Structure 1
């Protein structure tokens, strides 16, 4: 049963892999929970099912069995419109690929996410600037996404997730295409988000990255293993000069 402070609760989730298999890429009776201000990592090899699990937790796919609760609401009990509204307001996504609109500027990409979540244009402009400042890209706000480096694009993607002050951030291997220094920055920024009471769930194939979470679970052939207490430095240790602006902190409190 969910407890106070749980932002995400997944209970006994099962789903077949896209090709119909039940092992490689599928999910078998996986359960997890992520609380406010907590960073949880899913560690697993390619094809272990971790991306499928995140998709179930974020409402991209309906489980064949089990249930998902986000902010106390059971996704399975909501109609399509209600589920979409809840997820747009409460869940911020970061993917391996930033998925930005290349002809839009960094600021426009972030503001677009805010508008889709129901924000007004003026609010979207103001908060997109704050979100970009939070990830150290205020000086690149006017650059088109196509002209940004890979690391900068991923930071814009994180700003896009932060701008609507979500209760939960889900990041699917957000560092997979980055060099080690940039990957460190992204993990630190995710940790900084958790320090403002956001729940963070991310997947990785790198055990060192997983060990930076508050705790991590291991995914293998669709089975989620017992949670392990992280051994290393929590990702909430931010890089120098990286702080979430007050405008975003006030909205997430």
Structure 2
């Protein structure tokens, strides 16, 4: 018996990185998973990989989570294709980093649309099903950057907003058997952080080494680290936890 047998999980931004790692972990413990990503071909390819490697039922759905109609459609496709929905992981994200005086209005708006409006749209669409069945798990991805990070005024504001959103969901949805929590990752080795290394003119190896040196456990994180925490918070073992943000950052927040 897996922790997620007969459960259906939706993970946004799951074609790669943290989202894909989380989808793999939930699938390995029995969940049927819906990979939701902006690029439908990438989403379907990731779903096929999970079916092959984990033997779980998986579907790929293309969706711009910042579009409310697209979010509604995606959730309905999951219910129709997998027979229901029990878990929602709001992971989709982008970065448009720059110092405040260089940051464009479009850079601000786009990050807010994906990181804040996206979870709002997806959660609003999913919670109707959760309330009807009086069961649901919502997991939002915040970041240690919520505490402030140079060159990320947009991203930091959005990620702190996610924490307020999560606490409010805990208050509003708790009476209906729904738990809502968040994870705040530290430095996680993904394509996104590798791209940041290139943008600042560092090799991936040096960039990761610098990140590892900045936390007590002296290593960078990997998608599997976030997936392990996500699996717990999305499970019934965490049924008495709601409205919380768990930092998974190798202790970097301690500084």
TM-score normalized by structure 1? Answer: 0.34
The structure showing larger relative contact order (alpha-carbon pairs under 8 Å, at least 6 residues apart) is 1
| Structure with more of its chain in helix, by fraction | 2
| Structure with more of its chain in strand, by fraction | 1
